[in-house]
Amino acid sequence: MLRRATTLLTRSTIPLRARPFSTDVAETAPADSTFSDAWKKVVPHIDPPRTPLTFMKPRPVTPSSIPTKLTVNFVLPYASELSAKEVDMVIIPASTGHMGVLPGHVATIAELKPGVMSVHEGADVTKYFVSSGFAFIHANSIADVIAVEAVPLDRVDASLVQKGLAEFTQKLNSASTDLEKAEAQIGVDVHSALNSALTGKFY
C-alpha cells in the first residue's frame, strides 16, 4: 500500500494550461469564423448576422511604462458622471474595505458596498456616495466604476439621512417576516453608511 501511494505521488502530472491575463489577450477582437462558416453552409445566400464580437472595440494597448494619470469612467444606469477623466487616484468603497487605485494598479474586479468614492485630482478631491456596484481596474491604468446609485456627497441632506435611519430602524425592530427584515436591513445599512460619510468616518 505504501509503495503504491509513493508511486502515485511521484507520477508525472500533465501541466495545466494557465488562464491568460488581460494583457495576453489580442488587442483586436478575433473574427467569429466558426459561426460564419456554419451559417454559410446552411443559408449561403444570406449574410450571417453580426455577433457580439463584431461590436467589440479593440482593447487599449497596455503601456510599456506606468502612466502618470489614471483614466476613470464612472457611470450610472441613467447617466455618465465621469468619462475618460484623467486623475491622480480614486478611492473606492470595496466590500473588502476602502481601496486606493493609482496608475499601474494590478487588474482587479471589486464589488462596491454603500460608502464614499473619492476622486483625487491634484489638490481637488471630489466625493460621491455610492449605493452599490462594481469597479473594474484594468492593467492599462483605466478604471471603470459602475454604480447603481450615486450622488455628490455635498448634495446629501443630513437631516433626511437621520430621518431615514430612524424610520428604517423602527421598521427593522417591528418587522415580522424575513422579507420585511431584509428590506429594513438594507435601508439601515445604506442610511448608516450615509451618516458615517457625513460625519467623516469615510474618506
Within a domain: 12? no
* Mean pLDDT over each residue of the chain, to the nearest integer: 82
| Three cell numbers, residue 160 | 433626511
DSSP 45: T
Split into its structural domains, the chain has a count of: 2
Does the residue 14 lie in any domain? no
Specify the length of the chain in residues: 203
Q: Is 161 exposed, middle or buried (0-12, 13-18, 19+ CB in 10 A)?
A: buried
- What b/e readout covers 22-42, taking b as 16+ CB neighbours within 10 angstroms? eeeeeeeeeeeeeeeeeeeee
Indicate if 102 and 162 belong to the same structural domain. no
Q: Within this chain, do residues 190 and 116 fall inside the same structural domain, yes or no?
A: no
Coil, strand or helix at 179: helix
In a domain, 146, yes or no: yes
pTM of the model: 0.66
Question: In this structure, are 118 and 175 located in the same domain?
Answer: no
What pLDDT is stored for residue 6 in this prediction?
A: 47
Residue 25 lies in a domain: no
Residue 121 and residue 162 share a domain: no
| Percent above pLDDT 90 for the chain | 51
pLDDT for the residue numbered 32? 60
For residues 26 and 132, the model is more confident at: 132
Q: Is residue 45 part of a domain?
A: no
Q: Give residue 90's domain range.
A: 66-154
The DSSP secondary-structure symbol of 122 reads T
Residue 103 forms part of a structural domain = yes
Per-residue model confidence (pLDDT) at position 52: 66
My answer on whether 180 and 111 are in the same domain is no
pLDDT, tens only, 18-28: 554 444 445 55
Cell matching residue 117: 468614492
Q: What's 105's domain CATH number?
A: 2.60.15.10
179 within domain boundaries: yes
Query: Which helix (DSSP H) or strand (DSSP E) does residue 143 occupy?
Result: strand 142-147
Residue 58 belongs to some domain of the structure: no
**pLDDT-based confidence at residue 73 (cuts at 50, 70, 90):** very high
The per-residue pLDDT for 2 is 47
Q: Which residue has the higher pLDDT, 117 or 31?
A: 117
Quote the CA–CA distance of 147 and 13 in Å, as a whole number.
Answer: 44
| Pair 92, 109 in one domain | yes
Which of 123, 139, 154 finishes a domain? 154
Calculate the CA 73 to chain-centre distance: 11
